[in-house]
Amino acid sequence: MEREREIAAQAEAAREKIAELTALLDGFDTAA
């Protein structure tokens, strides 16, 4: 059970990081 929570937390962090990078790329596309 603890392992599942750990994996879920890592997945959530990964989604947040992907969202940040996506927003960053959108900004570059707009600036280009």
Rounded to whole angstroms, how far apart are CA atoms 28 and 23?
A: 9
Mean pLDDT taken over the chain: 94
- Please check the confidence at residue 32 and state whether its pLDDT lies above 70: no
pLDDT in the model for residue 28: 86
Residue 23 has pLDDT above 80, yes or no: yes
Using a 10 angstrom Cβ sphere, with 0-12 exposed, 13-18 middle and 19 or more buried, the burial of residue 9 is exposed
Q: How much is the pTM?
A: 0.68
Torsion of CA 20, 11, 8, 10, to 10 degrees: -80
